[in-house]
A and B are shown apart, each in its own frame.
Chain A
Amino acid sequence: MTIRARRVPGWLVGLIVPAVLLAAWQGAAASGLVPPAILPAPGLVIRTLAAMAQSGEMAQALAATGSRMLFGFALGAACATVLGGLCGSSAAIRALLDPLIQALRSVPSLAWVPLFILWLGIFEASKITLVAVGVFFPIYLNLVSGIANVDRKLLEVGRVLGFSSWRRLVRIQLPAALPAYVVGLRGGLGLGWMFVAAAELLGATNGLGFILDDGEQTGRPERVLAALLLFGLCGKLTDWALAAAGRRLVSWQDIAAA
């Protein structure tokens, strides 16, 4: 007897639990088990999404949230890359800067909001800065530890070849830290979406966070759920794109495929 194993595509397996949850949701809504004011039926949420797409509200919200996310992520990642590179490669700079950065990390990120609003106003700058703060720490921490924990044996190759500190950083430490950096970028991206939602909930006139707030204020849970779905979709898509780009960057790693 021969046993033939047939592989089911991973994406299909990943859809099983959401499909079951969707069916349970539909069942609960149709049976009247949960009042529509608490949990509207999936059909209503989809119709809300369609209406938002038709009216242009969805595109406008996605553009507003997406641009805050894009600029915040770029700012946070750039600062984390520069500071992480410096602190990872130089013990002196690490001794100088790392204690302060670690102290700032222990401040709850939302606690910065009043200060950012005072300094930067209530418009885009404070929101982008808040996203940047969220993005910064995972990237910084991963990069510093990635550079600091580079295999001593590889560094010795640089020493016998007479590399300067700069050449050692650029040619050995940074490439070796790339896998940790990619993990940091993905962590930063996830936190970025969390912080953009928080920033928009705290005061915005557009964006997905505004729709969340609006849905809550006007008692329309279908709008809240529609915005949540869009947040989830955006987060998943951007993470997927970053993971795909990261896999290409570190394709040299000799690791077992998951």
Chain B
Amino acid sequence: MPYPLRINGLEKSYGGQHVLGPIDLDLEAGTITAIIGRSGSGKTTLLRCLGGLEQPTAGRITIGDGQVSPADIGYVFQEPRLMPWLTVAKNTGFGLAGFTKPARDLAIAEALELVGLPDAGGLLPKQLSGGMAQRVALARALAPHPKLILLDEPFSALDPFTREQMQDHLLHLHEHYGATMVLITHDMDEALALALRIIVLDGPPGRIIGDFSPDLPSPADRVSAAFFAWKRRLTALFTRQSAPPPEAAFSDQQPAQENFP
């Protein structure tokens, strides 16, 4: 069963500098949620808090029933971060603990098959292209069958063709595993193509300025009028945020969250 995710009053400061929050968010189990925003809006900090890499300054994160083991959470970083001394197969199985050898081999083979690298198990990371390495990183996160997968701009370093191919892979993986996925991205096309729900952050300090459920068909038609319309709405939101605020913006009554139809 995939995990739902609940975030209450999450805040993060570094040495007195407030960078994120408060963030309140409920994510439904088994969905893909994209968190988009500009650089410095706190997206990665939020994901690092969810993945346990940062300790929140305040607030609470509840994943599933609260009794979660690290194997239940998969994390894909912006860079592949493969262990250069291990083969692709061993990198894929890097997080598999407490598996018998046959179960381990099966989990590795299945994960590599799913990311489209069934024959690459014997290669070393130095022999892989950027796209292949990132697919291995995805396979490593998937191999323990996590119930929540956190993805931190996983395709941002890839060329546009490979990126789109990887996005299709991700959708396929989501269909296969059904895990809850949280995807950090600054690419609106990627967010619209993959996510059922899009959370927009802006900052610093990072706060939610938009929460949308575009309801586009899956897989999304990237040249459809609806796709472009949503892209325009998201762009307009950022343009408005960067424009000089009207006098009223300083009012305490300014809404922090906006919901488009």
Q: Which residues of A pack against B, CB within 8 Å?
A: 153-154, 156-157, 159-162, 171-172, 175-176, 178, 250, 252-254
Contact = CB atoms under 8 A, between A and B. Distances in A.
Interface residues of B, number: 20
B70 A252 contact: no
State the majority secondary structure of interface residues on A: helix
B52 interface: yes
Interface string B27-71: 000000000000000000000000111000000000000000111
Given A161-B70, A252-B126, A153 B95 contact: no
B83 A175 contact: yes
Residue of A156, A157, A175 ringed by the most chain B CB atoms within 10 A: A157
Contacts of B86: 175, 252
Contacts of A172: 83
Contacts, number: 48
Interface stretch (B74-82, B153-161, B170-178, B248-256): B74-82
Contacts of B125: 252, 254
B196 interface: no
B230 interface: no
B201 interface: no
A160 B126 contact: no
B3 to A, nearest CB: 15
Contacts of A253: 84, 126
Given A153-B77, A252-B124, A252-B126, A160 B70 contact: yes
A30 to B, nearest CB: 54
Residue of B53, B69, B81, B124 ringed by the most chain A CB atoms within 10 A: B81
A162 B75 contact: no
25 contacts: A153-B77, A153-B81, A154-B81, A154-B83, A156-B77, A156-B81, A157-B81, A157-B94, A160-B51, A160-B52, A160-B53, A160-B70, A160-B73, A160-B75, A161-B71, A162-B69, A162-B71, A171-B83, A171-B94, A172-B83, A175-B86, A176-B85, A252-B86, A252-B126, A253-B126
A252 B77 contact: no
Residue of A153, A162, A250 ringed by the most chain B CB atoms within 10 A: A162
Given A160-B51, A160-B70, A254 B84 contact: yes
Contacts of B81: 153-154, 156-157
Interface string B120-158: 000011100000000000000000000000000000000
Residue of A161, A172, A175, A176 ringed by the most chain B CB atoms within 10 A: A161
Interface string B218-245: 0000000000000000000000000000
Contacts of B71: 161-162
Contacts of B69: 162
A17 B84 CA distance: 39
Contacts of B52: 159-160
B53 A156 contact: yes
Contacts of A178: 85
B191 to A, nearest CB: 23
Given A160-B75, A175-B86, 19 more contacts: A153-B77, A153-B81, A156-B81, A157-B81, A160-B52, A160-B53, A161-B71, A161-B95, A162-B69, A171-B83, A175-B85, A176-B85, A250-B85, A252-B85, A252-B86, A252-B126, A253-B84, A253-B126, A254-B84
A153 B82 CA distance: 10
A159 B75 CA distance: 10
> Which 4 pairs from chain A and chain B are nearest by CB?
A162-B70, A254-B126, A161-B95, A160-B75
Contacts of A252: 84-86, 124-126
Nearest to B69: A162
Given A160-B53, A254-B84, A153 B79 contact: yes
